[in-house]
Structure 1
Amino acid sequence: MARDQSAIAKLEKTKRHYNSWVVNETLEDYSLRYAPRSFRRWSEFTVANAALGGISYLADFAIGGSIAISSGFTNSFIAILISAIIIFVTGAPISYYAAKYNIDMDLLTRGAGFGYIGSTLTSVIYASFCFIFFALEGAIMAQAIELYFGLPLVWGYLLCTIAIFPLVVFGMTLLAQMQVWTQPVWLLGMFAPWFAVLLKDPTAFSTWTSFAGKSPSGSGFDILLCASGAGVALSLIAQIGEQVDYLRFMPDKTPQNNGKWWWAVMLAGPGWVILGAWKQWAGGFFTAVAVKNGVDIAKANEPIHMYIEGFKEMFSNPAVYLALATFFVILSQVKINVTNAYSGSLSWSNFFSRLTHAHPGRVVWLVFHLIIALVLQELGVFDVLLWVLGFYSNVAIAWVGALVADLIVNKPLGLSPSYIEFKRAHLYNFNPVGFGSMMIASVISVIAFFGVMGPAAQAFSTFIALGLAFVLSPIIAIITKGKYYIAREDVHFHNNPEAEGLTQCSVCEYEYEREDMAYCPVYQGSICSLCCSLDAQCHDACKAAT
């Protein structure tokens, strides 16, 4: 393209110099980039174990207990089963593409139907998931600390938030080690009390299956209560984003590691929901047992009370079982909240880098994320758990539905590119295929959620969101003929054998692998994806010329 030489010279003077912690990828973890081969030095087992360590959270227990209280045993059991199946099926293709292309949820969403700016909204949706669940998990930990140490909740929330910060600063490097070290102890604490209750209390199982809670249908089946419960459980569909934040560090798939690679991706990707569903059922089980043993039904959905009942069957000394229950809750919540904070910092980094053309570093957005989560805790988010998650799931599942439709329908049919293009230099700002289908589906489902369309639509609002988003994506792709996926073909780096190895960015002058590079006609040289994202002077001139 024609360009005034003085203008080019002016741009060349503005070399980008990042903060020291942005350049340090031990802290930054390629938060806005493709994860290069040189950084992916962990084995399939290590990555999978780190990813599974992130599902140690006890909010599943609280969710399962809350659904059981509001809907009764039968409705809660079926609702959790249905949601688990949907989460697994939608999570499989997302995990595969993220592990194959070594990119996080935001970069995957950009190239799978949403566009460069369109995916900023999904970054906020994902960040919301992270800080909502950080707040819920922090509240659960604070409840345990209050019960054991007597620390008021208002100070417990602050403590449980601040304590996470130093563990997340060093990203995947520290998180992987921490999850490996703590996993055996956590697994023992997770399952031992459950088995103890089943073995020592022969009536425990029947207590659960006959549990009615506050359900209008008792312990029997009611389709609307079941659908509403599934809607709450489906809020966990965005958990796949946190799994992907680890899976992007998977080694390349080769003939030698093919089997291990697939097992690791499926187990640590969609496979998280197998344990997740069990924890929700176990939450209902422990809630029923706790209520039978005299715990107030308003407190029975708190995991600390659930595990007190479990450890009580193993140890008769109150000091011992209370200490063990408290230790287990704190360990579980630390393991998950480091992941919530880490993933939240990634999503905020992606969001603000595109809106502000600045990237002060992942650590800055980590602090921002923790402040939001702390405010939610202080506002009592745990007390309105069902409503918050029910509302959130409508938007989250519309996003995932549109994304999955692109991956398993549009790409095989040739309606979208077969690969994932995530760089600004080659994307339109908005792609109506994913962005449009998500917006339409989420707006209609939220209207249904608030009861405007009647009680049946209100109960099935999340299913409306999923179905609409999934169907609209290929329809819009056909109507637009897929022309909004690629704004400018990559003839310099995509599948170019001559571009193998490292290429120096002409702006920041650091070297990156070809998957992270584009050619910039404005700077007349190669540019890395981050410098391209942060540039505010080019005004997308490379795409305007096509």
Structure 2
Amino acid sequence: MSTTESRPPAPATAEPATPQGAAGQAVQETLEDYTLRFAPRSYRRWTPMVVATTALGGIAYMADFSIGAGIGLAHGTGNALVAIAVAAVVIFVTGLPLAYYGARYNIDLDLITRGSGFGYYGSVLTSVIFASFTFIFFALEGSIMAQGLKLGLGLPLWLGYLVATLMVIPLVIYGMKALSKLQVWTTPIWLLLMIGPLAYLIATDPGTVDRFLSYAGTDGRGGVDTASVLLGAGVCLSLIAQIGEQIDYLRFMPPRTEANKRTWWTAVVMAGPGWVVLGALKQVIGVFLAVYVLAKVGPAAATEPIQQFRGAFDAMMPSWMVVPLAVALVVISQIKINVTNAYSGSLAWTNSFTRVTRHYPGRMIFVLVNLGFALALMEADMFSFLNSILGFYSNCAIAWVVTVATDIGVNKYVLKLSPLAPEFRRGMLYAVNPVGVVAFVAASGLSIAMYFHLLGDTLQPYSPVAAAVLAFVLTPVMAVVTRGRYYLRRTDDGITEPLLDTDGNPSAVTLDCHVCHQPYERPDLTACAAHGAVVCSLCLSTDKAGDHVLPAGA
């Protein structure tokens, strides 16, 4: 990748003067990276592969090594490998339609969710689920970094947690432009530090592979066991919501055309559902390294990535280099993923708050809110009960992602009860669509009951399966029962200009919002109910009196 290509250019046209006051603040902040909005073509000047590289840079997290190690040490290598594979297949299949919609229509997962079964306010439920994902995994990565800082610099854990939290704030302020540069330039270093020691161990000591494959675990089951596989897969499936962070980058894909469609699809698949291939590989490496260092550090420390890579580096280089390199790997990984966690979490919180209160408080407030939740989890030593947190959380995440993916794949393309083009604008959607809300609440509720043994010990390992199956079945059932009538409140947004161009991409035609006086591309606008003009999606969201919101259609 050339230096020029990796440095995305600025938008093609200069932004006009911003209005004063609170509305001006909202406009200025959301135009930095189109927070809460459709991402316009004038801003999306990156090539497909630069977007893909940026998106994949965000999955450099170390949590996979801990997750894989925890599953492997508890249930044995055989069960861990099958569990990781099962979860990866589910994540890939459900992530593909979501990634396609985000890249094709240039909207994030919350905006996709609104029109794919949940409604304008109904998707607040899933925004909170996604925001929780970001601070849970921020806390996990921050804990791992604090372990590295303790080993390398002698910092107490509580101070390491604070350092890990505060250091990402300057990096997350500037949105997509800054994040793209950070991810592109740090990825080669990260890959070298991660893959190098593993390759060395396998090449110089083939016995490590035999010990890895024969490790039986501590649960005493032996062999490949269904309950162990499902328990392990449930923990891995907590990562299913990662597709939301991938889409936060994929929404900046350029339009798909005949000339670029092969590269476009490659980038979408690679950086969308394809993230799980690298994620599953890291989980397997986590099992391998945990088994390798188990005799030296004990089962508690073997799940810590800093100890895993310290042991691996120790086998291949002088002792004075071991700790600095292990700490460098952990710090680079933590920065790469936690700027994404902080960024995506702030979008989710801001989106929910703005819809419910009809007031835009500024994204930076919710960067701090998200970091506050994460810091509280770290100080509560969440790392010591990691698998329990992730096992519980996965039930909610699975129910949400499977519901939306099923609505796209089945309700839109098979049953044709859900509108094919996504809709996210206030006034165009019903407040709540029972299709997604009922499917999600029923699937997550029952699976959580199973997870906490309320339906018996035998069914407990099957909670992630229940979440996925119920969401997959109930979503089309609810669409048939309601006959799809709660998807669109209106079918006409009052603007004669087509929403899509001749290639099926969102139109690049711009119109001026008469509230904030800024130009926006066609998909971000609707006609105004009270004036002979158009209004943008954010001004609609913050319209407390509802004067601009179009009435319900016939």
Aligned pairs for 1:245-324 (under 5 A) are 245-292=248-295, 294-315=296-317, 317-324=318-325
Aligned pairs for 1:378-527 (under 5 A) are 378-412=379-413, 413-493=415-495, 495=498, 501-527=509-535
Please, which runs of 5 or more residues in structure 1 have no aligned partner?
A: 1-14
SS for the counterpart of 2:550 is helix
- Does the 8 A contact of 1:108 with 1:422 survive in 2? yes
Query: CA offset at residue 26 of structure 1?
Result: 8.0
Aligned pairs for 1:111-126 (under 5 A) are 111-126=115-130
Q: Percent identity?
A: 48
TM-score, normalised by the number of residues in structure 1: 0.94
Q: Which residue of 1 aligns with 2:12?
A: none
- Does the 8 A contact of 1:131 with 1:341 survive in 2? yes
Query: CA offset at residue 497 of structure 1?
Result: 7.8
Aligned mates of 1:38, 1:270 — CA distance in 2: 26
Q: Which residue of 2 aligns with 1:354?
A: 355
- Does the 8 A contact of 1:83 with 1:234 survive in 2? yes
Structure 2 residue 138 is matched with structure 1 residue 130: no
TM-score, normalised by the number of residues in structure 2: 0.93
**Deviation readout 1:27-73 (Å, 9 max, x if unpaired):** 74111100000111111111000000000001000000001111111
Query: CA offset at residue 22 of structure 1?
Result: 3.4
Q: Which residue of 2 aligns with 1:173?
A: 177
Q: Which residue of 2 aligns with 1:145?
A: 149
Query: CA offset at residue 227 of structure 1?
Result: 0.6
Please, which runs of 5 or more residues in structure 2 have no aligned partner?
A: 1-18, 502-506
1:59 partner letter = A
SS for the counterpart of 1:460 is helix
2:50 partner letter = T
Aligned mates of 2:68, 2:212 — CA distance in 1: 12
1:136 partner letter = L
Query: CA offset at residue 216 of structure 1?
Result: 2.1
2:432 partner letter = F
Aligned mates of 1:78, 1:539 — CA distance in 2: 56
Q: Which residue of 2 aligns with 1:368?
A: 369
Aligned mates of 1:152, 1:27 — CA distance in 2: 40
Q: Which residue of 2 aligns with 1:239?
A: 242
1:224 and 1:537, CA in 2 relative to 1: closer, same or farther beyond 3 A? Answer: same
- Does the 8 A contact of 1:168 with 1:338 survive in 2? yes
Structure 2 residue 202 is matched with structure 1 residue 198: yes
- Does the 8 A contact of 1:27 with 1:169 survive in 2? no
- Report the count of equivalent residues: 529
- Does the 8 A contact of 1:200 with 1:313 survive in 2? no
1:172 and 1:500, CA in 2 relative to 1: closer, same or farther beyond 3 A? Answer: closer
Query: CA offset at residue 519 of structure 1?
Result: 1.1
- Indicate which of 518, 523, 528 corresponds to 2:536: 528
Query: CA offset at residue 360 of structure 1?
Result: 2.0
Q: Which residue of 2 aligns with 1:10?
A: none
Aligned mates of 1:83, 1:180 — CA distance in 2: 28
**Deviation readout 1:222-243 (Å, 9 max, x if unpaired):** 2111111100000000000000
Moved more, 399-408 or 503-512: 503-512
1:16 and 1:93, CA in 2 relative to 1: closer, same or farther beyond 3 A? Answer: farther
- Does the 8 A contact of 2:27 with 2:516 survive in 1? no
Q: Which residue of 1 aligns with 2:233?
A: 230
1:145 and 1:500, CA in 2 relative to 1: closer, same or farther beyond 3 A? Answer: closer
Q: Which residue of 1 aligns with 2:504?
A: none
Moved more, 455-464 or 515-524: 515-524
RMSD: 1.7
Query: CA offset at residue 363 of structure 1?
Result: 1.5
SS for the counterpart of 2:534 is strand
Q: Which residue of 2 aligns with 1:215?
A: 219
Aligned mates of 1:59, 1:126 — CA distance in 2: 17
Moved more, 137-146 or 500-509: 500-509
- Does the 8 A contact of 2:161 with 2:375 survive in 1? yes
Query: CA offset at residue 19 of structure 1?
Result: 6.0
Aligned mates of 1:186, 1:364 — CA distance in 2: 31
- Does the 8 A contact of 1:17 with 1:508 survive in 2? no
2:301 partner letter = K
1:419 partner letter = A
